[in-house]
Structure 1
Amino acid sequence: MSCALELLPSEILDQIIFFLITEPPSLGRHNRRPDRHIVQSNNKDLKNLVQCSHRLLHVVRPRLFTHACVDLKDERGFKDFILASDLARCVQSLVVISEEAPLDQLKQPWWHRTFSFIDPTRVTVHAPPLFIGNTLDIPIVDANEEAFDIHLQALQLEREGTPNATSFLPLDNCKNLLQARPWTSMSINESSFMKSYSSDDYFLLQAPSIFKWWSKQIIPESPSPHISSMIYGLTSFSYTAVLPSYNHVKLMLDSLSAMPGLQFLSVQLASDTDDQVQQIRWPGGTNFNYHISWGEFATSYSLIIYEVVHKQSLVEFQSRDCTLEVIPADLTSGLDVDLKKEDWVLQGPGIWRRRKC
């Protein structure tokens, strides 16, 4: 049977292979707490198929590397393999993993080197906050890093179009990844803020975040030219964090003023995989900070709904928290009522669209 399969024309083999393709695991895990296992998958159908014969290897490999991953510790090996195997045109999305903050700010940025031989339409970065900040040319305040225990965060950028392995936009004067391509979608996962609630002064702590700097640069009536050039063209924005304070959520919402064409907004402020969400306790055994954290959650959503209602460019809003079982029912039950009052229509679980005038 193996021989009969290999005798089929490449076009038919390609159609058969198409039905074995699954969504890359990095998409399904982007809203979970960031870790280096983002690309691991139990589905190895394509990997098993390429081991059957040289013929199938030739046909399957381009599909197998549509979604690629590189750990920057082996950046050179990744580039050599992609070029030697003539796969540059095949890479449509790239996951970049780094567990270390950049050591030398004067060296050429990693994305300069990467975009010199591939041109993916989606880039996902899992790295420490300082690395994320460096990638976006944003200073990260990490004075209270230990209070949050945030080791990795995730940044995802997408654009329209197809990969181009031969004609690239110039990057000589480009200092951040946001300016490197005409991105239209941005997703940020800032990980868990839960540890901060063990401090009486949790509301004074500064999380390692790009939004701390952005909020100072953006004035609603006149956004900073530097910020505008980075996020002006975004039409979709997604934010994920586990129980951030409402003060921090306000910083995130401030950045939306520099996205005049924003049409889709998605948020998630809790986790469906982290048991600690239901087990936050003060050292003395009381559940005082449990209630405090959900109070911050409720206040955050009041700010979010206000932004959604008054952001006239928005077409669709999604609250992924509405589908999570760990959320106390009373904290999300009022969303539909509040949005319906402002001509928003529920389209599905946690998804609303603005009613057309």
Structure 2
Amino acid sequence: MSAAAINITDIFQRLPNEILLQITAHLDSPAPSIAKFAHEPSTTLTDADQTPLKNLSCVSWRWRKIVLPMLFRYSRIQLDPTPQWVPIDARILDNMQGQLTKLSNHEFQVYQHMRSKFKSSSIFAYDESFDDLLINLCRIDDGDEFLKSIPDILWFPHLPKSDFLHYAEFVQQYELKYHIKNVVIYTDKSYELRHVSTAEAYLSKVVKEIWSTIFQVLEPTRVVVSAPPCTLAGLLDVAMMSSDTWAFDMKIHHVEFIQYGQASQIQHTTPQCRPWETALVHRRPWTHLAYNEGSSISAYSTYEYHLKQSPRMLYLLLLRLAKEVQDCCNIRSFSFIGVFPFHTNIRVVIHALQKIQTLEEVKFQLAPGPENDLLNETKRMGRAQPSDLWLEWNESYKNITCFLGTYDFADGASFTSKDCSVAAVKQDVGEYMELLQKKGQGWQAKEDGLWIRDHTRDHEGASINIPAPDI
């Protein structure tokens, strides 16, 4: 190599950090949890096919230092799948009594506490029909070998103890708390103890512990929770309001909370404008709420499908926002994604939306997106009739149209229909929006699937009255 030959390493060392940051920006791309949020929910929400920033961070220590703040803007936390709770009853207590010398300190404390409890109800303690009333759920600690040997160990949502501790130490060591803006909490484990009355208090306790721990370590402006409906209900501190979840075969739901702008810029009407530090919905002054409940197609194959009720955690979340949050820090935008949901579900969601007075942006997607071809999947369709699917779709849009016509949107508010990516569906949505214009509602079409509220156009094409939805 001649003396004039270019030494790439030397050039790299001489480049200022500003140039390296520009190079890094060209390799940046949206996180999978953003790009795939509207896809049918699955456990692969956070999986990425390509990781250019991670690869670049492995080139050298200087590149790693440059990339680090960008590399960890998006973080994911998987809940521990290991069952850690034991239902202590009188029969287990008898087994513990025979091994007192082998019990850990924690196990011995559990034994003493439960023995005193069962003394006052010894007549019924061994009757299985009283288990739900007398049972105590006990979390397994390190060294609890007896409790670990019990076959019926139960699962509650919880953070991976040691892994999260290392994660927290890493965040602190590299001062990443304010660089991590997005966090996804996910699991594929289903919570199955809603039939045990005493389990609700324990569930509430462990869920509060999850959010308190996460928000002590991180300061995210976007939080996504991805979990089976029964688990998601617990993580959101709401009920499911459905006994028909089997019919819908919804493996995973996604919910997204975003806080746009700085919390310090909000002019709070009162210090108690929401019950801070309780459920996730109240942990921050969220301005955006999005929900993806996936496909309802399997329910159309069941007998009298129209009587089935899908999980309604979203409805309850919106009601909490309407009842418990002042306008100063309530949501400004809302997005719903589902594949052919029943119009009864859309109707109750809209019923709750009507009670929130701060909406400026509303988005709906009720048909399959371009990323899937559910209508041509014979196995997924089962006995469902396409005519029934589109009937529910049309009834849902009638409810949406009535909502757009009765809600007091300000000038500049927007409605987006993500279904307009298909030409035939775009035409149908356009006809519903024309009905609003005939009613005298000024919604101006801006681009495919987007309409802007314009009060100056009110009454331009008024010719009919559209009744409000029966909600």
TM-score normalised by structure 2 residue count: 0.66
Q: Which amino acid aligns with 2:365?
A: Q
Structure 2, unaligned runs of 5 or more: 1-7, 81-159, 194-201, 265-270, 457-471
Q: Which residue of 2 aligns with 1:119?
A: 219
1:39 is the counterpart of 2:40: no
Match of 1:157 among 241, 257, 277: 257
- Work out the CA distance in 1 between the residues paired with 2:276 and 2:447: 44
Q: Which residue of 2 aligns with 1:354?
A: 453
- Work out the CA distance in 2 between the residues paired with 1:99 and 1:281: 23
Deviation per CA, 1:157-180, whole angstroms, max 9, x where unpaired? 11123699xxxx999963311111
1:260 is the counterpart of 2:360: no
Q: Which residue of 2 aligns with 1:301?
A: 397
Q: Which residue of 2 aligns with 1:96?
A: 185
Q: Which amino acid aligns with 1:79?
A: A
Measure how far apart 1:27 and its partner are: 1.2
For the aligned residue pairs, the C-alpha RMSD in angstroms reads 3.0
Distance 1:26 1:173, change over 3 A: closer
Q: Which amino acid aligns with 1:202?
A: Y
- Work out the CA distance in 2 between the residues paired with 1:210 and 1:97: 17
Distance 1:304 1:109, change over 3 A: farther
Match of 2:336 among 239, 242, 252: 239
Kindly report which structure 2 residues correspond to 1:137-148, keeping only aligned pairs within 5 A, or say none: 137-148=237-248
Measure how far apart 1:296 and its partner are: 0.4
Deviation per CA, 1:140-199, whole angstroms, max 9, x where unpaired? 1342121010111000011123699xxxx9999633111110000000011111100001
Highest CA radius of gyration, 1 or 2? 2
Deviation per CA, 1:265-315, whole angstroms, max 9, x where unpaired? 0000011233223456899x87x6221111000110011011012111251
1:120–1:163 contact (8 Å) kept in structure 2? no
- What secondary structure, in the 3-state scheme, does the structure 2 residue paired with 1:254 have? helix
- Work out the CA distance in 2 between the residues paired with 1:97 and 1:30: 13
Q: Which amino acid aligns with 1:92?
A: K
- Work out the CA distance in 1 between the residues paired with 2:343 and 2:385: 15
- Work out the CA distance in 1 between the residues paired with 2:32 and 2:389: 30
2:293–2:338 contact (8 Å) kept in structure 1? yes
Higher helix content, 1 or 2: 2
1:324 is the counterpart of 2:413: no
Q: Which residue of 2 aligns with 1:337?
A: 434
Q: Which residue of 2 aligns with 1:71?
A: 78
Q: Which residue of 1 aligns with 2:297?
A: 194
- Work out the CA distance in 2 between the residues paired with 1:70 and 1:282: 31
1:54 is the counterpart of 2:61: yes
- Percent identical pairs in the alignment equals 24
- Work out the CA distance in 1 between the residues paired with 2:216 and 2:254: 23
**Which segment is superposed worse, 316-325 or 182-191?**
316-325
- Work out the CA distance in 2 between the residues paired with 1:23 and 1:119: 20
Structure 1, unaligned runs of 5 or more: none
TM-score normalised by structure 1 residue count: 0.86
1:22 is the counterpart of 2:29: yes
**Which segment is superposed worse, 130-139 or 291-300?**
130-139
Aligned residues: 344
- Work out the CA distance in 2 between the residues paired with 1:6 and 1:44: 24
**Which segment is superposed worse, 243-252 or 18-27?**
18-27
